Each structure stands twice: as C-alpha cells, then as structure tokens.
Structure 1
C-alpha cells in the first residue's frame, strides 16, 4: 500500500512516497518524469519519520550519507545504476562514462544517463552528483539550477 507526504526543503516542496512503509519516491515540484499524483497513495506522515529526520540533517549540513531503507522501482539495469549513485561520496561527482565503466560496460554512458534521469528517489539517491564528460552540468530531472545548488551546497557553499 502506498502513502505520501509533502515536506518543505531549501529546494522547494518534496513529495515523499512509501510502498508498504519503505521509501520508494522523493520528487521535487516540476520534476521531469514525476509520476501522476494519484499514484502516490493516500496522505500519511507515519512512514516518513526517519526519511524526514535524515533529510533535515542533510540540509543542515550534518549528514553526508543516508541510511534510510529504500525501495526504488525500476528495471534491473536502472536499479544497478541507482546503487552505483549511492556510492558517489558526498561533495564529489562522477561522469556518466565512469559509471558505465564501473558497471562493466564502458559504452553504456547514454543508458546510464537515461537510468539516472529516471531516478525515483532524488537527493537520497544522489543523481545530482553525475556530470558530463567535459565536467559540465547536464540534464537533471529537478532542473539544472537545483542541481548546481545541490552540488554547491555539498562543496561547502551556503544554501541561501
């Protein structure tokens, strides 16, 4: 059974979605590939206490690695990519090509990019830490401005 809640963040409202009490979605407003609201289940704050605490600690600069249980829904390849995203250290970035190499398929950078763009649990699964081969920002479901702000924040810049 799915439930959802909306919390405030320095990046705007975040919609948290849980499937049987386990976080399966974290969506920003106007996010590309955001599922329709009616798929989020009924409103209920109960399953989100741990995720909310960890997100608050992250935004306060005191949490570098999330430990909240996750259940991202996707293809086996997408889940492999998302698992690799969780291994990118706080404040660091990786290229799509490097992620493809890590997955054992150096020619799969485009597929890695597509999977990255379908990440259903933004921020916690840090797809914002993936950049283009030239080192520049590339697409981000939450918008390039948010991506830059998240990267700047993790590199020590002020949120505001």
Structure 2
C-alpha cells in the first residue's frame, strides 16, 4: 500500500523525516528517489538529526565522499549518495553490505544499486507540490514490517 504525504514546506519535510526516524530499526534501508533539488538530502539531513536527537548535528552531503557514517546511539546511519557511480560493482567498495546488516541506510540515487537493491526496504519518491516549497512524498513499503510501520505513521510524534 502506497502512502502519500504532502508537506507545504521544509518544516513539513523535517517533521516527516522525524516521524520515520522514530521508527528506525537496524537493517532499515530507505531509498530516496527524486530529481535534483527535490529535497532528498534535506530529508536525509532531518532524519539523521532526529535520530541523533540533535537539531544542530553537522550533516554534510555525501555527494563527493559517496558515504557519510554517523555512529549514533542506538543505531548507526549510513548516508549514501550514489549519483557519481557508473557501475553497481563500485558500491561494494563502500561497504554497503555492512550498512544493510547493522545500521540504517539512507540512499540517494538508488537506481545505481541495480541488482543490489534489497527486497525489504522503503522507497520514498519526492515530487513537486502545489507551491515552490511544497513536496509530495510517496512512501512505498516493501516488506510486511515496513507496511505496518507506514500504516501507523500518523500515531508517531516526532
């Protein structure tokens, strides 16, 4: 079941990210889809800050490093930006299997994963909303656990 969440601005994006971070479990994989400028990095930054319980946590974009790792308590977060990769084999060099096993993986440009895309995951598609700052988030759960968490999203306070 796809879940649609519409937000009017950056604060709405941060609130949604906070709600999803409150549901985080080791082994979570969240794939961020959207064109340049849709807010994939902003969502990931807000998610990491919410999980760290620190609104001032420094969260640089992994555009050039390809991955940033945050050793948060209780769950480490691996933030991947795969935009610059041309071959899925390059992903192994980023230790993505460790991320999939032990932490939360936030992955921008997940189309680069190809055959490495995990079956149990949450796909988030971000599209423009009705105003310049608004966004529409399509949450597509893959796996029964994700489905249950998405169904109960409204009950979560970020």
TM (norm. structure 1) is: 0.30
TM (norm. structure 2) is: 0.30
Higher relative contact order (CA 8 A, sep 6+): 2
Q: Which has the higher strand share?
A: 2
